[in-house]
Amino acid sequence: MAANTDLFSPYISTVDDLIPSNDKDEKHLWTGESPVPVVIAYNPMLVGSDEVPHCWKDLLDPKWKGRIAFASPLKSGSAYTLLCTMLIALGWDGVEGFVKNLDGKLSGSSAEVYQSVADGQFAVGLTQEKVVQSLIQEGKNIAISYPREGTVAVDDSIALVKGAKHMKEAKEFIEFVLSKPNQMMMASLFNRRPVRTDLNPPEGLPPMSGIKLFDYDVTWASGNKQEILERWAGMVPAQ
């Protein structure tokens, strides 16, 4: 969204006062509808309680070599967010150490990451909170670790396309997406966090105030994406 604001028209929703400033564009060119924390997932059948990685730097421990599930950020948007998060936490030297611990193994998709951890193919994986929580509710062998240094929660978002042919309906759809009934339904069915401050997180998840967050600059992440991915590609075997 941040990389394509020239395609959007500003729109201020009727519930704008319930949406935190960091969950929307300052010029109202896009509005977040669900913040999505990225987390470290692990299989408690393979990872002892004293081994759980509680920090990004823990993933650099040689004991995890070949045991980490991660999708290529060249193919996955969530993996790119995770790469940028690790850059904030570890810098490029740390990311290089992380790549070495991948041992040449990259998952084919973001969905493959959490499934392979739950199935026991990998001990840990980097993914999104909402998908892990859904698997936990299904009784799968998977759990969530929120890195103590901090993580990020980039919003899934919605915007009004500039010059839309059905402008009235487009605005009505934005209002629907941000409405209390829809936000509650998305939380209940898909463990998606409501962006609205008057609603609670999905059952079983901590409030956002309980998760340490980095100051994630979406403009930096979008503006430097090509350079970041080129440097990543230079570190990783042919993908």
Q: What is the pLDDT of residue 238?
A: 64
Per-residue exposure over 181-194, b if at least 16 CB sit within 10 Å of its own CB, e if not? eebeebbeeebbbb
Do residues 123 and 1 make contact, with C-beta atoms less than 8 angstroms apart?
no
For residue 1, pLDDT beyond 90: no
64 DSSP 8-state letter = G
Q: What six digits make up the tokens of 72? A: 């290529």
What pTM did the predictor assign?
Answer: 0.92
Tens digits of residue pLDDT in 59-107: 999 999 999 999 999 999 999 999 999 999 999 999 999 999 999 999 9
pLDDT band, residue 239 (cuts 50/70/90): low
